[in-house]
């Protein structure tokens, strides 16, 4: 795959799921599939929901995810089915791209600034999508993760539904994807965030 990007850019974006495979291209640190959030997710009820976090073999993921959503308090509904199915699709894409049979799933309700400073992750790669609320913010290579963002002029932001793969420091220290949670603390906003990592027991690229 060739990457037609501006000078010094480490990001590749396209309105096609194949965009995510660009993460395997040398020099690409962020690959973004620009898409709309799956319709129907706005009907999800998040009151009383707790976070989901578990590791699974990709073949066992459907049953384990269904059980985890039950335990987290997600009521049976059409919206939950849409969420469940989309997580499975993204997890399978991630596993194929990373050539990894095991994945770690995190589904979190976020109301604070969470990871408020721009940073890179200590993983090989990480998939992130925001189902509800503001999307993750990221920087291209011309900016730096050492700033507290006050003087940054090139902050990019994913939209709800966009799916991104960020290279981590275990894959590339020079081209790791720099990102942060959008600052929402005190605004009353809420985000439903999905994170997929390679499971540590088989963290290969």
Q: Which domains does the chain have, with CATH numbers?
A: 11-202 (2.60.120.10)
Q: Quick one: pLDDT at residue 106?
A: 97
| Residues contacting 135, CB < 8 A, separation 6+ | 157, 158, 159, 160, 162, 182
Q: Quick one: pLDDT at residue 202?
A: 41
Cα separation of 158 and 22, whole Å?
A: 17
pTM of the model: 0.88
* Mean pLDDT in order along the chain per 10 residues (205 residues): 56 96 95 96 91 96 98 96 98 96 95 77 96 93 49 82 96 90 79 93 45
Q: Quick one: pLDDT at residue 126?
A: 97
Q: Quick one: pLDDT at residue 125?
A: 97
């Amino acid at each position: 795959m060739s990457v037609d990007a501006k000078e010094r850019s480490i990001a590749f974006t396209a309105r096609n799921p194949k965009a995510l495979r660009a993460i395997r291209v040398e020099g690409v640190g962020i690959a973004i599939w620009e898409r709309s959030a799956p319709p129907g997710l706005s009907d999800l009820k998040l009151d009383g929901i707790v976070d989901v976090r578990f590791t699974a073999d990709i073949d066992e993921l459907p049953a384990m995810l269904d059980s985890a959503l039950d335990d987290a308090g997600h009521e049976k509904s059409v919206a939950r089915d849409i969420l469940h199915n989309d997580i499975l699709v993204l997890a399978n894409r991630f596993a194929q791209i990373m050539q990894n049979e095991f994945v770690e799933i995190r589904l979190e309700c976020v109301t604070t600034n969470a990871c408020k400073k721009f940073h890179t992750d200590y993983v090989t790669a990480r998939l992130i999508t925001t189902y509800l609320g503001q999307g993750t913010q990221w920087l291209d290579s011309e900016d730096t993760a050492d700033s507290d963002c006050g003087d940054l002029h090139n902050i990019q932001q994913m939209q709800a539904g966009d799916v991104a793969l960020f290279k981590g420091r275990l894959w590339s220290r020079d081209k790791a994807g720099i990102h942060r949670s959008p600052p929402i603390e005190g605004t009353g906003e809420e985000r439903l965030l999905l994170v997929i990592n390679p499971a540590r027991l088989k963290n290969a690229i």
